Amino acid sequence: MFEIRFLSGNKFKIEEASTILKRVSVSVIPINEKIEELQTADTHNLVKDKALKAFQLIGRPLFVEHTGLYLSHMNGLPGGLTQIFWDTLQAERFTQLFGSAADNSVIAKTLIGFVDGRKFEFFEGSIKGSVPVAPRGNRDFQWDCVFVPDGYAQTFAEMGDQKNEISMRRRALDQFSEYLENRGKV
């Protein structure tokens, strides 16, 4: 089994990445180091900066990820600023503002940045959805309770493990695992 380091302090993201990558014989080694993130709506710049800082600290091949919401009603915001946005609003206020909006559509995107000391690569996954009029399901994993993927009646929070089959993180990790397989790393 190939090991890869994943800089994240979020146990839910670590569990999802571990479950998804285990299918292709990749073992995720969590790295819980605090890296100062850029505060920018430019997710590619945010992820690359974070990955390069982490590599400088760890000195081993690793990946980082950022998952954000891109609200149609807000012209694609908050994007790279999703965490600040979420920490300020939380579930109830978020659904009050966007669940009843004339356009409650949203895209959830995960951007993975992988660095090995020689190369830097991006892998992106996205899924379209909508914001419900009220939060539904467990609220432990941030905005999962306010995202209903297109074609489904449940929020990510209500889906349980089914989320891992369709999520933006799954799509990005599938691209990443294919890249690792093609490089002969797995």
Question: Alpha helices of 59-102 — where are they, by DSSP H?
Answer: 82-98
pLDDT tens per residue across span 124-151: 999 999 999 999 999 988 899 999 999 9
Q: Give the C-alpha separation, 47 to 124, whole Å.
A: 11
Q: Give the C-alpha separation, 52 to 115, whole Å.
A: 7
Query: What confidence category does residue 185 fall into, taking pLDDT thresholds of 50, 70 and 90?
Result: low
Residue 125 parent element (H or E)? strand 120-130
Closest CA to 186 of 20, 52, 53, 44: 20
Alpha-carbon separation of residue 8 from 30, 176, 181 (angstroms): 7, 16, 23
- What percent of the chain is modeled with pLDDT above 90? 72
pLDDT for position 68: 94
Query: What confidence category does residue 186 fall into, taking pLDDT thresholds of 50, 70 and 90?
Result: very low
CATH 3.90.950.10 correct for 2-182: yes
pLDDT tens per residue across span 26-44: 899 999 888 888 888 899 9
Residue type, 20: I
pLDDT tens per residue across span 55-107: 999 999 999 999 999 999 999 999 888 888 899 999 999 999 999 999 999 99
* CA 90 remoteness from chain centre: 17
pTM of the model: 0.92
Give ∠ CA 136-10-171 in degrees, rounded to 5: 75
Q: Does residue 184 have a pLDDT over 80? A: no
